[in-house]
Structure 1
Amino acid sequence: MFTGIVEEMGSVVSLEKRDDMVMWDGSTGEGTELKVKADIMMDGAYLGCSICVSGVCLTATQLDEANQIFAVGLAPETLRKTNLGTLKEGSAVNLERASEIGGRNSGHFVQGHVDGTGTIVDKWVDEDSLFIKVEVPPSLLKYVVPKGFIAIDGTSLTVCEVDYVNNYFTFMLIEYTQKKIVVPLKEVGEQLNLEVDVLGKYAESALAAVTPRIEELEKEVGELKEMIKKLT
């Protein structure tokens, strides 16, 4: 679990396809490995620990403490759902260590399970704030609500406006945040990793379980009303 409060921006050392990834049975398979140079992330890091890389919860598979570099594996599902496959050497990424139980949470509960990506379609400045407009598929936008939480490239942010007809939402970054995360460095047309507030998905799941029964009861009530009308 993470808080969405980015601790530092790391720099991509390499993103490469490897054919020597050792599987559970000792055989080798093909996979993608990402290496990132960072300072804060190496403090207390251990093999198998979780690190949030631009919104994606990943497992540290190698630690090079001398050069302050950690490696993580990117599964095919991760590459399909996120923008990590577009990273290049030198790309900046948002980084956060897993949160400690009982610690302060200045953002919101972020799982690091990216739901999909959105595309930047506009950017503008309002005094010292930077506004960004993001186009999102309707299947994802339904979980986004005005003034609700959303994690963007791993950063806990507040939604400003939502347009469910034209499929976009906006958010803004205060002057302090602009200098601490990678989002302001991205241009119109680039992608952002998005994780919606998990509470919305749980609410939808719970409602889906009772909706058929509610519809059945409404039908029965309607039938009773018709019977009463005929009797009177």
Structure 2
Amino acid sequence: MQLSHWRVIATVLLPWRTAKLVFKPKIGPLREDRILDRLAFWRSVVGMVAIMVATYGYQDVIFVSGDMFLKVMQTGAYALLLPPLSFLVILIVTRPGRRSQLIPGARRLLGRVALALTFFFLPFFLMNLAGDRININIPDPGGLIVFIPAIPLVIVWCFCFWCCTVYWAARTGLWTGEIHPLLAPIGTTVLMLVINGQEIIDGDTDGVPHWLWLTLNLCGTTTSLVLCVLEYRHLRSIGYQFRSGPEPVTRSEPEPVH
């Protein structure tokens, strides 16, 4: 019980844990599901560290971090197109008797997207609303001891949570897997290929030698493709099919009557 209380406190105080609780999709019960989830996380971490180390002599760490964040933002922007297109495609290919099973997942997706967009635009709305009209009056001077240190802490927490929201939106392809599990690896793969392909075609190395820049891009693309293929094959192996709806089926399960 004591450990549970500490976990709740840590989830509230640490913005990345709060964002994980709110935005991370549910992981399946199988061991392979947990392995794939951890591989996806560590691929992101190792990839980021590898890029920082490899480009250290050519770019500042702050510049590399900013460039990665802009890439995540670009992925999130492209991901806004995924939910309507994915839902339309899966609605067409799913058998008529199973299309109603897509509705609960679509509602969950809309809820997550609405929540993420709210958190994304809320800081800009508040800054625009406040403007120069901020007037803080603290009658008790002793309150400054608590209030002044709290301001940067709240700003840092909100900024970290905002960044984590963008991260989960980009990583999950705007939660298209809520509609159908097979859409998650396919959607994120399409996004990754579009963005990396556009980056390679543009050829802007930002001072990094072309051979190193191309190697990093191709390695990132390859590892992402491998993980997506493994996730797709795993989902297919446990019974997920496009035409059978978002629930896994077994071979003994009867086909719906058209």
TM interval, short-chain normalised: under 0.3
Decide which structure has greater helix share: 2
Q: Give the TM-score of the pair, scaled to structure 2.
A: 0.22
User: Highest relative contact order (Cα 8 Å, sep 6+), 1 or 2?
Assistant: 2
Q: Give the TM-score of the pair, scaled to structure 1.
A: 0.24
Decide which structure has greater strand share: 1
